[in-house]
Structure 1
Amino acid sequence: MTLRRRDLLGAAGALALAGCGETPEITGGFVGTHPERGHVLREPTTRTPDRTRRTRVLIAGGGVAGLAAARALRLGGVDDFALLELEDQAGGNARAGLMDGLACPLGAHYLPLPGDNAHEVQDLLEELGLRQRVAGRWVYDERHLCHSPQERLFFQGQWQEGLLPLDGVPPDTLAQYRRFAHLVREAMAQTRFAMPTLRAPITPLTQALSGQTFAHWLDREGLTDRHLRWYLDYACRDDYGAGTVVVSAWAGLHYFASRHGFHAPGERDTDAEPVLTWPEGNAWLTQRLALSCAERIHTGRTVLRIEAHPHGVAVDALDHATGHTERWLAERCVVALPVLVAARVLQNPPDFVRQAAQRLTYAPWLVANLRLRAPLRDRPGAPPSWDNVLFGSAGLGYVDASHQSLNPRRGATVLTWYLPLGDAAAAARRALLDKPWTHWRDQALAELSVAHPDLREPLQRVDITRYGHAMAMPTPGAQVVWPTRAGRLHFAQSDWSGYSVFEEAFTRGHLAGAAIAGFKG
């Protein structure tokens, strides 16, 4: 069964009618982000600092990159630093919430096992006890690996194992799966794909792929099967926030070629690749990074102005708790802000910052956490999994926060539904600000009720988290090797990779902090 937008709208109306007076009210609201804090930057600031503070290194931005820079400074023996974070909790897109005692992600919810190109991430996992060397081989702590069953797809009216549509697809579809697998292998043989991207060269092939959309490349290769195209669109929306008509062909191939390739049915074991995950998602990692330097993290701060001088850096920030403006004087500054923000707050920004800000576009995202008092009844087919996706849907399906629990008795849980909005970013940003939380609640319920008609019965609460500029999108032309330093300013953010995943942000933050820790005097 192919889901269509009109089917979802019809389901939403039926759901609203069915709920009138028959089930308890579903509470909820917006949580996790404060758009008004970022919007302070829309108006020129003339604030006079209320007080001045000093530190050796100032880190502007407390996402994964900023926290990685703080860790690298600490490991390098630099303890005199401060980190300024916009929200009330550090972690950026990898933060968590609580729903009546149950942890749930507010953003990123898993980390693939990092390859050797991401050795900084490997070192972090070793430090946190997530992996250790046994008999000469690296072994991951199974408690933190995603438990089986890992993935399933609601397709043709029932659940199937895995996310690639298989049940009942025609031979032509299978042939296109094999064709795409061949093209991925061919690209991997012709050039190197790596994560983080700074460890892969820019070649004529990558430049050609980066210059066109993934949809255009697929059309040119004759890959038009609707099942394959849905799956590839889903993969791009999952990692990049937008589909094949927006992201580059380089990005579409990089999704597979930088990891384990793409394998058509029958080419190898089709089990999902192992990932690390937790009920709170990647906040499990960022919370531990933040804990190691908690006394140096200052939350609820909007960075208003960064000005570098020959002998230091001045950073002005608004403390939203007091309404006061602080001026921080530092020897060096790690700019771990999104590039569009960095270009606005930097005084006389370097040309490459202006160029990057003009080149990059950002995907809005919405995350809905649904608190259930009891498990859902299930449809035929594959059993409940950690990641549960609906074929043809606007969202990315849901992950189950209780999937990692070792308790054999299923009970209350939180389902986290993800909606990437980069395909129509400007309109989506307006909608995120203008629409009430109930609009997004009803959209989540309409979509998920296709597979779970009983969803409203155990549902108690829905928390909505909005990200207006969640992540840079790897659109055509976005793959550029940018400088990482301008005098006393060190740039560290996943934007400089042209897209946002943990490995990119952490590596860039670590390298910035390590570079500063290596300076003498």
Structure 2
Amino acid sequence: MELTRRELVAAFLGSAVAASACRRERPRAPVPGAIVDRAVDVGHKLRGGALPRAAEAQAVDVLVVGAGMAGLSAAWRLAAAGVKDVRVVELESEPGGTSRSGRNEVSAYPWGAHYLPAPLVDSGPVMRLLREMGAVTGVDAQGYPAYEEELLIREPEERLFYKGDWYEGLYLRAGASPAELAELERFEARMNAFAAARDAKGRKAFAVPTALSSDDAEWTALDKVTMARWMEAEGFRSPRLRWLVDYACRDDYGTTAEGVSAWAGIWYFAARQDGKGERSEGFLSWPEGNGRLVKQLLSSLAPGQVERDVLVHSVEPVEGGCRVDAVEAVTGKPRAYRARQVVLACPHFVAAHVVAPWREKRPEWLGAFQYGPWVVANLTLSEMPESHGFPLAWDNVFYESRSLGYVVATHQALRMDERGPTVLTWYLPMAGLDVKAERQKVLSAGYAEWEGLVMADMLPAHPGIAEQARRLEVMRWGHAMVRPTPGFLWGPARFAAQESLGESLHFAHSDLGGMALFEEANWFGVKAAEKALKGLGRADSSWL
């Protein structure tokens, strides 16, 4: 049965957006544009039966399969160790995975991850990368890193749209009762206490990356219940606070507090602060978002080391390494590699189809990995949108929508009094608990439906935006983010997935950390590279 426009908007964005959009509906020309992803079609070839195998296999010391953040981090680490014979193969025509970016005549813009929380600790591979970029200016007397001012998100950072007006920040203070504000204060005090908590070994209870967190049962027990249930048990019942926590879970994990563990929900608020108050350097961002980190990682590699449009369909451990079979995604021509060491830097739902022994006997723990779909759209405007209330910010969120609102690609480059063209990057996590049904919804909608959804979300806050819109491009991420469901972060599946297969096949992906974040991808990429170095007989001190 075909949905009406109002039913479609309600199904994707919620009834409040549908009602508001339909009240303001007036005839308008559709915004020209397109759906620009293709990985859904190419990637599904893995399920389509046997693919051809090449007779000859190219010899290589290390083959990295996947040029997302984990794969590029692995290649970066290997390059730093002086390993020259490294090849990276990537399904897409552009590397970077969900951190890829685009560019048009107005600006660069992100296609996924768009910021990096500024690290508080001057150690680890992320800080090494930021120093290589020239992003770090020094360390203060307390040992906290300092960053280039132009990379830190400038004010105003965030605002919230509610019933016709924009308000500063992400907690809806307008109209909040004293009891609601007191509950917010109590919640923030609890999060500060979690941030300050250390175990007997001096480890933070909640750390970045997750691998550095305490594994004491006092904290890991929080992984067994949902964040929503923990909130209820702790007496946090204010709708405004619950909205904020739901927003946090949708932002980092792609689903609501009903779908993530309390450990993950608390981690969002506690891991990136030291528990001494509001100590945080904020966010680092660029017009292209984390595409800037992709560019930096790629700069460590020689021309030709990254082979694009290559679909790997089999990785088989053999004597002395692994045989890897692939096809060129465009021509279908088979390729094969004989690698002494392999870093398989793809999500585990893909690895299940690629790793030959797993096709023979699928590990039971693979079923614990769940991935939520997302949609990202970039809307190019002839000028900045007008709005009522608090001025345009970097991050602009709609309180009554299931979307996350949008970020402004040109925010860092423009002064607040400038009215030039811009690109708005709109995010929609498909947050329902049934990930298969959510994925089907994403793939069933065509460009016309997505154009209608984006504009229905934007128009209540920006009535004139239809006349300013010049082009809309839509990217669907069918398996965008691993979900830290209850029991997953500290359960056996995630740790089993981190183990190498034999001495030559190592795994690297953000899903090994249970969170689709750059810090996790970078950590496990470097970790897998260091395992490969050991397999090559190369001694090198660890970066971890």
Secondary structure of 1:486's match? coil
Is the Cα–Cα contact under 8 Å of residues 318 and 325 in structure 1 kept in the other structure? yes
Partner of 2:225: 212
Partner of 2:115: 110
In 2, distance between residues paired with 1:16 and 1:156? 16
CA pair 471-356 structure 1, distance change in 2 beyond 3 A = farther
1:451-466 equivalences under 5 Å are 451-466=461-476
Partner of 1:26: 31
Partner of 1:331: 340
1:394-473 equivalences under 5 Å are 394-406=402-414, 409-423=418-432, 424-473=434-483
| 2:376 is the counterpart of 1:361 | no
| 2:175 is the counterpart of 1:152 | no
CA pair 261-281 structure 1, distance change in 2 beyond 3 A = same
| 2:89 is the counterpart of 1:87 | no
Q: Provide, for residues 388-428 of structure 1, a one-character-per-residue CA deviation record: whole Å limited to 9, x for no partner.
A: 11112110011001101146633110001100013242122
In 1, distance between residues paired with 2:527 and 2:382? 45
In 1, distance between residues paired with 2:441 and 2:87? 35
In 2, distance between residues paired with 1:96 and 1:162? 26
Question: How many angstroms does 1:478 deviate by?
Answer: 0.8
301-310 or 353-362: which moved more? Answer: 353-362
In 1, distance between residues paired with 2:513 and 2:362? 13
CA pair 230-134 structure 1, distance change in 2 beyond 3 A = closer
| 2:296 is the counterpart of 1:288 | yes
Secondary structure of 2:516's match? coil
| 2:211 is the counterpart of 1:198 | yes
In 2, distance between residues paired with 1:410 and 1:292? 38
* Identity between Structure 1 and Structure 2 (%): 37
Q: Provide, for residues 335-393 of structure 1, a one-character-per-residue CA deviation record: whole Å limited to 9, x for no partner.
A: 1110111122101139998344211111100001111011111212x211100111121
Secondary structure of 1:349's match? helix
Question: How many angstroms does 1:157 deviate by?
Answer: 3.2
5+ long unaligned stretches in structure 1: none
In 2, distance between residues paired with 1:510 and 1:467? 25
Partner of 2:400: 392
| 2:511 is the counterpart of 1:498 | no
Q: Provide, for residues 158-202 of structure 1, a one-character-per-residue CA deviation record: whole Å limited to 9, x for no partner.
A: 222111111220112112112212332343436511111111122
Partner of 2:176: 169
| 2:391 is the counterpart of 1:383 | yes
5+ long unaligned stretches in structure 2: 1-9, 200-204, 539-544
Is the Cα–Cα contact under 8 Å of residues 57 and 335 in structure 2 kept in the other structure? yes
Secondary structure of 2:312's match? strand
Partner of 1:318: 327
Partner of 1:348: 357
RMSD, aligned CA = 2.4
Letter in 2 for 1:496: L
CA pair 471-275 structure 1, distance change in 2 beyond 3 A = same
Partner of 2:3: none
CA pair 197-237 structure 1, distance change in 2 beyond 3 A = same
CA pair 158-304 structure 1, distance change in 2 beyond 3 A = same
CA pair 97-46 structure 1, distance change in 2 beyond 3 A = closer
36-45 or 341-350: which moved more? Answer: 341-350
CA pair 337-134 structure 1, distance change in 2 beyond 3 A = closer
In 1, distance between residues paired with 2:291 and 2:518? 11
In 1, distance between residues paired with 2:344 and 2:511? 11
Is the Cα–Cα contact under 8 Å of residues 118 and 503 in structure 1 kept in the other structure? no
| 2:187 is the counterpart of 1:180 | yes
Secondary structure of 1:217's match? helix
Give TM-score, length-normalised by structure 2: 0.88
Secondary structure of 2:207's match? coil
| 2:150 is the counterpart of 1:143 | yes
| Residue of 497, 500, 513 corresponding to 1:485 | 500
450-459 or 361-370: which moved more? Answer: 450-459
